[in-house]
Copies of this chain bind each other. A is one copy, B any other.
Amino acid sequence: MNFPSKLIEDAVNEFSRLPGVGKKTALRFVLHLLKKEQSDVLQLSDAIKRMREEIQYCKICFNISDGEKCSVCSNSRRDERLLCVVESIKDVINIENTNQYNGRYHVLGGVISPIEGIGPEQLHIDQLIDRVKNENVEEVIMALNPTMDGDTTIFFISRKLAESKVRISTLARGVAFGGDLSYVDEFTLARSLQTRRPFESYLSKQ
C-alpha cells in the first residue's frame, strides 16, 4: 500500500502492529483520527504514552497499579484470608468484574510451559510461597486457565504449599451458563457429572 504522506504511513504501520489490526483497519483508524479534533487525538496519544511510562506493578501481588501498592492490596476492606492466584492482569480484571470476590490476588505472570520454555523460576511463585508463610492466608484459590499448563502449575504450587496448612482450591469445572450440552466436550461433561451438587445448595448460593 502506498500512502500520499510519510506521516500517514508511519501511523498506519504503528497501528497495524496492534493485535488483530491489519493495514486496512489501521488506515481506517488514521482517517478517523484525521477528522477528529486535534485535542481528542492528542488525548489518545498521551494516554498511550503515560500508560506505558508511568504504569507500575504492585510490589505485593504484581497486579498493575498507579502506585507501589495496587488498589486491591491497599484496600483494607478486602479479605486477607483469601488469596486468588491468577495467570495475568487480565484475569484480575475479569474476576473483579464479577463483583463476587472480596479477597486479594497474586499474579503469576504466566504458567509453567515446557514447550514455550517457561519454568517456575520465571514466574512469581517464590513470592507466592512467601506471602502464604508471612500473611494471614487461609485459602489459596487457583484461578488459572483450565489447560494442561495451568493444571501443571497448580500441581507444582500445591506441592510447594504442602508444608503450610493453607487450604488450596480451584475454580469449579462444569458446563457454562447458557451453554448447550451437545457442544460440551466429554471430559467437562464427565467431570460435571462426578462433581454434581444438590439442587438446594445451588439455589442457596444465588
Contact = CB atoms under 8 A, between A and B. Distances in A.
Contacts of A55: 5, 7-8, 34
Contacts of A3: 93
Contact of A52 (B10, B14, B33): B33
Interface in A165-205: none
A141 B33 CA distance: 29
A48 B20 contact: no
Nearest to A2: B96
B27 A72 contact: no
A44 B32 contact: no
B42 A4 contact: no
A41 B52 contact: yes
Interface in A26-56: 27-34, 36, 38, 40-55
Interface string A101-116: 0000000000000000
Contacts of A29: 18-19
Quick one: copies of this chain in the complex?
2
Contacts of A7: 47, 50-51, 54-55, 66
B30 A15 contact: no
A70 to B, nearest CB: 6
A86 to B, nearest CB: 12
A5 B64 contact: yes
A44 B5 contact: no
Given A4-B93, A4-B96, A32 B14 contact: no
20 contacts: A3-B93, A4-B63, A4-B64, A5-B55, A5-B71, A7-B50, A7-B51, A11-B50, A11-B51, A18-B32, A31-B88, A31-B89, A33-B48, A33-B52, A34-B55, A41-B49, A42-B49, A42-B53, A45-B45, A45-B49
